[in-house]
Structure 1
């Protein structure tokens, strides 16, 4: 099974990381990559808002990365895989899978701005006995020296919110409306990570830790369409989609559309 319109060549490599070993509430995100691929078959290749088609973008879908069940093993496997990837488009899996992809890009480019759409801060130093939990992923990414732009965070510990306010390398945006203006001043390579629980559970019920009070797909896409055209985007991911928790498939369908629109916006 491949994502809609994938070919056998291109600088853009779509892949899945079916990993959810540190999930702290309800598992199932390991089924996310194939769930999103399946629902991409119900998408049109053409985006009317962008007036672009996936048929005009060369990207390949290489399937899922085989990863061990431990966070450390997963990280090592993905780092090795990333050696052959120029522009990553990754489908998770839980949010911890973002860590090795970003680590590889930081080593490649030297500096990176990470834009995180999420309900949760993911800034814990340790959770459930590991520093590589999905609840710690942005804390680990900060340690690379990245600038982190957090969009829509509405859940976390007191300590996490204090860090968001005090850390000079974190920019917090309460809504996505401000993002096009903020990114207009960014000169570094940019990586986007979209946790599906950024969206309100009414639009994306298929996720392990849903958080009420989220955003609509319309609010997200309006912000994406307004992004400056000259951004140096070097990859993105969509994570935390759990198909077993959404038999209707609307979460998987939303994930597939996010992938299509971001590919066309950034490289179409």
Structure 2
């Protein structure tokens, strides 16, 4: 199964990572990569708002990487895989997979900025006995020296809240207008990490840790469509959980995000 419009080769490369070994509430994100691909077949290759088609983009789908269940081994295996990719588009899986992706990209690009769309801060130092939990992913990313811009966070521990205020490598924005203004000024490489629980659970119920309220897909897509040229070097969509998405609404949203971002940045 491949994402709609995928070619045999291309510099933009989709990789699924069906991993949910550190999920702390409701597992199931391991089913997401193929679920997102399945629902992509309900899309047209053409985007009306962007006036572009996937037919015109040289991108491929590499299938799935099945890493070890142990988080420490998973990190090394995903890192080695992404090192070989040109422009990674990652289908999670839980959010812990983002750290090894950014570990690889931070070695390739100086002054990398991560735009982090999420309901949760993900800045715990450790959780459930591992530093590589999905609850710790942005803490590990921070240790790479990467700049993090967060939008949508509405759940955090006291320690995480204090870290967000004190660490100069974390920028917190509250609205898409603030984010647009900030991202438009970034000349360095940018990576988008999109946790599907960023959206209000009314729009994306199929996730392991839903957190009301949240943003709407309309707000997100309008931001993408109006964003000026940005040097985006990859993105991921994570934390979609098909067992909690019986109507397919969440998987459909994730598939459309993938299509629109590919067309926006590389179409």
TM-score range, shorter chain: over 0.9
What residue in structure 2 maps to residue 260 of structure 1? 259
Runs of 4+ more than 6 Å apart: none
| Equivalent pairs, count | 267
- Following TM superposition, by how much is the alpha carbon of 1:70 offset from its aligned partner in structure 2, in angstroms? 0.8
User: Given the two structures, how large is their TM-score scaled by the length of structure 2?
Assistant: 0.98
What residue in structure 2 maps to residue 11 of structure 1? 11
Q: How does 1:244-255 map to 2 (within 5 A)?
A: 244-255=243-254
1:134 alignment partner, SS class:
coil
1:221 alignment partner, SS class:
helix
What residue in structure 1 maps to residue 159 of structure 2? 159
Which has the larger displacement, 183-192 or 11-20? 183-192
1:247 alignment partner, SS class:
coil
Q: How does 1:97-246 map to 2 (within 5 A)?
A: 97-229=97-229, 231-246=230-245
Superposed CA RMSD = 0.8
Give the gaps of 5 or more residues in structure 2.
Answer: none
Contact 1:179/1:227 (<8 A) preserved? no
Contact 1:117/1:152 (<8 A) preserved? yes
User: Given the two structures, how large is their TM-score scaled by the length of structure 1?
Assistant: 0.98
Contact 2:149/2:171 (<8 A) preserved? yes
Contact 1:22/1:133 (<8 A) preserved? yes
Contact 1:189/1:234 (<8 A) preserved? yes
Give the gaps of 5 or more residues in structure 1.
Answer: none
What residue in structure 1 maps to residue 27 of structure 2? 27
What residue in structure 2 maps to residue 68 of structure 1? 68
